[in-house]
């Protein structure tokens, strides 16, 4: 193993004051452990918390027997990985891709990741110029089905663009479908987006997203726990989702079947006390079944970026009131509307009949009827009154809204 001793020196090229940087020795220890311990390994996280990175590395590189809780078989596997770990090579390879390693204690470390306890990432590889901690403070995850419908892709893109326009950072997993649509929506609006990958940040997965991941790295951030060159596996995708949930203020699910990784992100968000939201879809769509199940629980139904911002934002970020179109008859005072509603649609009626239907006096009904005639709602035929053709259309449309 090639590595520097814990000298306490700072790493060349790090930005920010020295008090906000982890010493080089501890950084290299964490890079070493990120190559050896799988993301989300709770036992490995406990060792880090109780013993510290330096002590764990020493035990892995010496033949002193397994650490508490590790079986002989598991310890042998960790030791085999440790023999191949080279943190300085990982740093060099990451540097060639324009990536840096951020770990707890750094000024750029997002403190909300500490909510993960012993499953907290050992550190994160980050590509991009922005400060991850600052961006994470005002971020929302938008996740969902890979094989999404046109509706799902449209909604994800609209939400991504709308959140970006409101100054929110859109976080997703860089996958096909909803993830890609959300990223593209934010990028298209000239906003900020973060892709959290289940592989090394120097790789583009899926391969079809090489251009998209590159664009995110230029305009936003590409983040991952795994060392450079590492490939994704099914378990790594699921474990990656906890980082998306912890990093953000809330998670929005746009289309997800009952068995969906997006639901794992939402459930992780719920466990962490984050906001969980869902975009409804057709009741007959299997791709919305998982979202609807969330909405039957503690998730909040949202339909646009304003509603998301109202939920996760600061006080005062209110979504506009939802209402249908204002019809001309909505501008009438209540008494006039009551009289108009009492006028039959397809025959004439005497003023007395209309007064009884409106629950008012004959004199008041007659006065209102003449007012309504001047506005074009009713017309007089002898001693009777009836609706005009235009009023019939207005009343029919209004009754259809009931």
Model confidence pLDDT, tens digit, residues 150-184: 999 999 999 999 999 999 999 999 999 999 999 99
Residue 383, pLDDT > 90, answer no
| Domain boundary residue, one of 312, 347, 364 | 312
Q: Is 50 exceeded by the pLDDT of residue 6?
A: no
Alpha-carbon span 205 to 303, nearest angstrom:
29
Per-residue pLDDT, 89: 96
Q: What are the structure tokens assigned to 60, written together?
A: 């892995």
- Residue 389 corresponds to which tokens in the numbers above? 């053709």
Using a pLDDT cut of 90, give the percent of the chain over it.
Answer: 72
For residue 19, pLDDT beyond 90: no
317 HSE (CA, 13 A, CB side): 15
> Whole-angstrom Cα distance, residue 336 to residue 245?
54
Residue 213 gets which letter from DSSP? H
Checking if the pLDDT of 319 tops 70, the result is no
Q: Which residue, chain included where needed, has tokens 């074009």?
A: 376
When pLDDT is cut at 50, 70 and 90, the band that residue 2 belongs to is very low
Same domain? For 185 and 266 the reply is yes
pLDDT in the model for residue 93? 95
Residue 178: name the closest of 228, 150, 139, 144 by CA: 144
> What letter would DSSP give residue 348?
-
Most distant CA pair in the chain, distance:
109
Give pLDDT, residue 377. 86
Asked if residue 5 belongs to a domain, the reply is: no
Please tell me the predicted confidence (pLDDT) of residue 13. Answer: 37
Same domain for 82 and 183, yes or no, is no
Q: Are residues 155 and 266 in the same domain?
A: yes
Report percent pLDDT > 70 for the chain.
Answer: 88
User: How many residues belong to the chain?
Assistant: 402
Residue 114 has a pLDDT of 97
Q: Which residue has the higher pLDDT, 1 or 160?
A: 160
Tokens standing for residue 323: 């209402």
Please check whether residue 6 lies inside any domain of the structure: no
The dihedral built from the CA positions of residue 109, 115, 120 and 126, taken in this order, carries a sign that is: negative
Q: Coil, strand, or helix at residue 303? A: coil
Phi-psi group of 130: left, alpha or beta (phi > 0 → left; psi -120 to 50 → alpha; rest → beta):
beta
Domain membership flag for residue 319: no
In a domain, 171, yes or no: yes
Report how many domains make up the chain. 3
Please give the residue that has the higher pLDDT: either 186 or 23: 186
Q: Could you tell me if 170 and 270 lie in one domain?
A: yes
Q: What tens digit of pLDDT does each residue of 210-267 get?
A: 999 999 999 999 999 999 999 999 999 999 999 999 999 999 999 999 988 899 999 9
- Here the CATH number for the domain that contains residue 292 is 3.40.50.450
Question: Of the segments 74-78, 370-374, 377-381, which one has the largest average pLDDT value?
Answer: 74-78
The answer to whether the CB of 155 falls within 8 A of the CB of 302 is no
- Distance, in Å, from the CA atom of 209 to the CA atom of 174, rounded to the nearest integer, reads 8
Mean pLDDT within 354-378: 87
Please identify, among 288, 312, 336, the residue that sits at the C-terminal boundary of a domain: 312
Q: Which domain holds residue 22?
A: 18-97
Residue written as token pair 């390879």:
93
Task: Please indicate, yes or no, if residue 119 is contained in any of the structural domains.
Answer: no
Identify the band that residue 368 occupies on the pLDDT scale cut at 50, 70 and 90: confident
Examine the domain organization and report whether 282 and 134 are in the same domain.
yes
Handedness of CA 23, 29, 32, 36 (dihedral sign): negative
Distance CA 271, CA 293 (A): 16
pLDDT confidence tier of residue 8, bands split at 50, 70 and 90: very low
Tell me: do 296 and 332 sit in the same domain.
Answer: no
Q: Report helix, strand or coil for 71.
A: coil
pLDDT (mean) for 73-86: 94
* pLDDT, position 378: 86
Query: Is residue 321 in a domain?
Result: no
List the single range of 44-48, 137-141, 270-274, 357-361 with lowest mean pLDDT.
Answer: 357-361
Query: What mean pLDDT value characterizes the chain?
Result: 88
Same domain, 141 and 176: yes
| pLDDT attached to residue 334 | 86
User: Do 188 and 302 share a domain, yes or no?
Assistant: yes
Which among 275, 257, 295 has a CA at the least distance from the CA of 144?
257
Nearest 5 degrees, angle CA 165-CA 167-CA 172? 90
- The SS3 call for residue 142 is strand
Please indicate, yes or no, whether residues 332 and 237 belong to a single structural domain of this protein: no
The pLDDT of residue 388: 85
* Cα gap 51→47, rounded to integer Å: 6
d(CA 335, CA 156): 45
In a domain, 114, yes or no: no
277 band by pLDDT with thresholds 50, 70 and 90:
very high
- Yes or no: say if 133 and 109 are a contact pair by the CB < 8 Å rule: yes
| Cβ atoms 66, 44 nearer than 8 A | no
270 lies in the same domain as 344: no
CATH number of the domain where residue 385 is located: 1.10.10.10
Give the whole-angstrom CA distance, residue 85 versus residue 260.
33
Residue with tokens 């799988």: 38
**How many angstroms separate the CA atoms of 57 and 52, rounded?**
9
pLDDT at 372: 86
Give the pLDDT score at 371.
83
Q: DSSP 3-state assignment of 271?
A: helix
- Using alpha carbons, list the distances in angstroms from residue 398 to 30, 119, 206: 66, 56, 51
User: Residue 1: its pLDDT value, please?
Assistant: 42
* Whole-number pLDDT of residue 400: 46
Whether 398 shows a pLDDT value over 70: the answer reads no
Tokens of 226: 């795994």
146 belongs to a structural domain = yes
For residues 284 and 255, membership in a common domain is answered with: yes
Domain stops at, among 265, 281, 312? 312
Q: Are residues 158 and 230 in the same domain?
A: yes
Cα–Cα distance measured from residue 85 to residue 142, given in angstroms and rounded to the nearest whole number? 34
Residue with tokens 């929110």: 168
- Sequence-separated (6 or more) residues with CB below 8 Å from residue 325: none
């Amino acid at each position: 193993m090639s590595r520097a001793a814990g000298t306490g020196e700072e790493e060349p090229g790090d930005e920010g004051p020295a008090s906000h940087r982890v010493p080089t020795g501890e950084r290299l220890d964490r890079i070493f452990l990120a190559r050896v311990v799988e993301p989300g390994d709770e036992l490995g996280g406990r060792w880090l918390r109780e013993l510290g990175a330096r002590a764990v590395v020493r035990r892995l590189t010496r033949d002193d027997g397994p650490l508490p809780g590790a079986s002989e078989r598991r310890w042998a596997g960790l030791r085999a990985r440790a023999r191949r770990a080279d943190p300085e090579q990982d740093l060099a390879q990451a540097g060639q891709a324009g990536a840096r390693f951020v770990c707890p204690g750094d000024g750029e470390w997002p403190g909300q990741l500490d909510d993960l306890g012993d499953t907290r990432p050992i550190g994160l590889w980050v590509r991009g110029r922005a400060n991850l901690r600052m961006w994470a403070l005002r971020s929302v995850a938008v996740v969902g089905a890979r094989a999404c419908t046109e509706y799902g892709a449209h909604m994800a893109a609209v939400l991504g663009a709308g959140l970006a326009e409101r100054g929110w950072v859109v976080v997703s997993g860089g996958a096909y479908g909803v993830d890609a649509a959300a990223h593209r929506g934010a990028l298209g609006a000239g906003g900020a987006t973060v892709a959290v990958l289940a592989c090394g940040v120097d790789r583009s997965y899926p391969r079809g997203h090489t251009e998209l991941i590159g664009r995110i790295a230029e305009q936003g951030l590409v983040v991952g726990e795994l060392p450079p060159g590492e490939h994704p596996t099914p378990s790594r995708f699921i474990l990656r989702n906890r980082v998306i949930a912890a990093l953000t203020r809330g998670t929005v699910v746009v289309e997800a079947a009952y068995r969906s990784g997006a639901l794992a992100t939402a459930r992780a968000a719920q466990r962490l006390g984050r906001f969980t939201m869902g975009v409804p879809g057709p009741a007959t769509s299997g791709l919305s079944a998982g979202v609807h199940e969330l909405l039957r629980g503690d998730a909040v139904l949202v339909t646009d970026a304003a509603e998301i911002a109202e939920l996760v934002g600061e006080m005062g970020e209110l979504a506009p009131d939802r209402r249908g179109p204002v019809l001309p008859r909505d501008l009438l005072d209540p008494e006039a509307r009551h009289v108009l509603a009492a006028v039959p649609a397809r025959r004439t009626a005497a003023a007395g009949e209309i007064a009884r239907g409106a629950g008012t006096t004959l004199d008041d009904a007659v006065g209102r009827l003449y007012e309504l005639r001047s506005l074009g709602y009713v017309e007089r035929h002898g001693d009777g009154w009836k609706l005009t053709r235009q009023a019939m259309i207005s009343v029919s449309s209004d009754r259809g809204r009931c």
